[in-house]
């Protein structure tokens, strides 16, 4: 399956996974959010006790061990306090005590089934632990309380995608209805591509305003998906924006590949020569320059570029690919 972009939505002390594709590694554990982060609600819910407030402050400061001690004591002092259980779970997750964190999130939900933060964190945690069926159940339980909760819709879509469930498309459509951000649009386009709905996938990508994307990684992902969909002009446009924001040998090499596919071999060669000049010790530029030169009939110069890629990075994917190509010729 194609890559689905994993990203995290951070709310006030929420740890949420928005989309995790089957071919993507589990999402990295995000840092706890601060009170300044945007959240589904306008403000952080007041702490239920001074101990919970102290524990929450420790989490925000990254002192998970201290928070576990503080909130563990608070949870014992009042076993019916869902906030104490929830934040204790957040602190435990920060220490990578995942089973204990899961237990605390579930306990918080038994005490307060409408605690959306716990639904969201639990479904994220289960996704990160590669338990998509459990994550789906956790997300569905939360959506039964709030059917338009963005993070839970995202977690549900991610779980369905991991499971290869065709309902993932509808899940992303429901997510986009309430959270039409660029990463979600990209993930939706990936699923449409896998479903061989090429025109719909292109339309989903076209909804992303390239000049408004500040994430170079997302721009590269979008460009590569355009390339898979054989919309090479849009592939070049996406990489134009990425290169304009910060030129690198990798971005220039990818743009050159799009230009080559768009029959602009002169532009492709110019990009690759610039990539080599910009980062002379990076094998990626030399590798793709060598491949391009050989393809356009400049065999000797192309082989020299491939040899340079091997010498610069014999253990890198590009150096190894260059060595294979040289051996085959």
147 and 8, same domain (yes or no): yes
Please report whether residue 199 resides in a domain: no
Last residue in a domain, options 145, 165, 185:
165
Residue 261 sits in which domain range?
247-329
What token pair was written down for 30? 């995000």
Query: At residue 290, what are phi and psi to the nearest 5 degrees?
Result: -60, -45
For residue 329, the model assigns a pLDDT of 66
Instruction: Pick 40 or 175 by higher pLDDT.
Output: 175
- Record the pTM: 0.75
43 and 150, same domain (yes or no): yes
Percent of the chain residues past pLDDT 90, beyond the cut: 84
Instruction: Pick 5 or 74 by higher pLDDT.
Output: 74
Please report whether residue 60 resides in a domain: yes
DSSP 119-184: HHHHHHHHHHTT-HHHHHHHHHHHHTT-TT-HHHHHHHHHHHHHTT-THHHHHHHHHHHH---HHH
* pLDDT 10s digits, 63-86: 999 999 999 999 999 999 999 999
Last residue in a domain, options 148, 165, 182:
165
Handedness of CA 250, 252, 256, 259 (dihedral sign): positive
From the list 165, 187, 144, the residue with the least C-alpha distance to 17 is: 187
149 and 256, same domain (yes or no): no
265 and 141, same domain (yes or no): no
53 and 158, same domain (yes or no): yes
Element (H, E) at 312: helix 299-312
Please report whether residue 265 resides in a domain: yes
What token pair was written down for 261? 């596919």
17 and 155, same domain (yes or no): yes
Angle subtended at Cα 186 by Cα 184 and Cα 188, rounded to the nearest 5 degrees: 70
253 and 107, same domain (yes or no): no
* 8 pLDDT higher than 70: no
User: To which residue do tokens 């524990």 refer?
Assistant: 55
- Cβ of 311: how many Cβ atoms within 10 Å? 12
Please report whether residue 293 resides in a domain: yes
* pLDDT 10s digits, 22-35: 222 223 333 333 33
> Into how many domains does the chain fold?
2
Residue 45: pLDDT band by 50, 70, 90 thresholds?
confident
Please report whether residue 77 resides in a domain: yes
33 and 147, same domain (yes or no): yes
Rg (the chain; Cα; Å): 24
CATH number of the domain residue 54 falls in: 1.25.40.10
147 and 273, same domain (yes or no): no
Rounded CA gap, 186 and 175, in Å? 12
Q: How much is the average pLDDT of 150-160?
A: 95
Please report whether residue 5 resides in a domain: yes
Query: At residue 105, what are phi and psi to the nearest 5 degrees?
Result: -60, -45
* pLDDT 10s digits, 207-245: 999 988 988 899 999 999 999 999 999 999 999 999 999
Handedness of CA 49, 54, 55, 57 (dihedral sign): positive
């Amino acid at each position: 399956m194609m890559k689905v972009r994993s990203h995290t939505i951070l709310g006030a002390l929420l740890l949420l996974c928005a989309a995790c594709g089957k071919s993507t590694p589990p999402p990295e554990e995000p840092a706890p959010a601060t009170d300044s982060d945007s959240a589904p609600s306008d403000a952080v819910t007041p702490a239920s006790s001074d101990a919970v407030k102290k524990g929450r402050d420790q989490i925000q400061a990254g002192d998970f061990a201290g928070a576990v001690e503080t909130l563990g004591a608070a949870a014992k002092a009042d076993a019916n306090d869902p906030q104490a259980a929830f934040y204790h779970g957040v602190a435990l997750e920060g220490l990578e005590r995942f089973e204990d964190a899961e237990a605390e999130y579930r306990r918080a939900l038994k005490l307060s089934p409408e605690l959306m933060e716990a639904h969201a964190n639990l479904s994220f945690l289960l996704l990160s632990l590669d338990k998509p069926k459990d994550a789906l159940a956790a997300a569905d339980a939360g959506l039964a309380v709030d059917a338009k909760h963005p993070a839970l819709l995202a977690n549900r879509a991610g779980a369905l995608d991991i499971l290869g469930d065709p309902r993932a498309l509808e899940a992303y459509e429901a997510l986009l209805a309430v959270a039409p951000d660029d990463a979600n649009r990209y993930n939706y386009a990936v699923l449409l591509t896998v479903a061989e709905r090429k025109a719909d996938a292109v339309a989903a990508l076209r909804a992303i305003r390239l000049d408004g994307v500040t994430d170079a990684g997302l721009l590269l992902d979008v460009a590569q998906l355009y390339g898979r969909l054989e919309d090479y002009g849009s592939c070049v446009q996406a990489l134009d924006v990425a290169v304009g924001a910060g030129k690198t040998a990798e971005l220039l090499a990818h743009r050159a590949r799009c230009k080559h596919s768009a029959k602009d071999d002169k532009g492709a060669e110019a990009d690759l020569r610039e990539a080599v000049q910009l980062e002379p010790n990076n094998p990626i530029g030399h590798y793709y320059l060598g491949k391009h030169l050989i393809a356009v009939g400049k065999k000797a110069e192309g082989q020299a570029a491939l040899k340079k890629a091997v010498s610069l990075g014999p253990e890198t994917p590009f150096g190894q690919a260059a060595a294979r190509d040289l051996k085959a010729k």
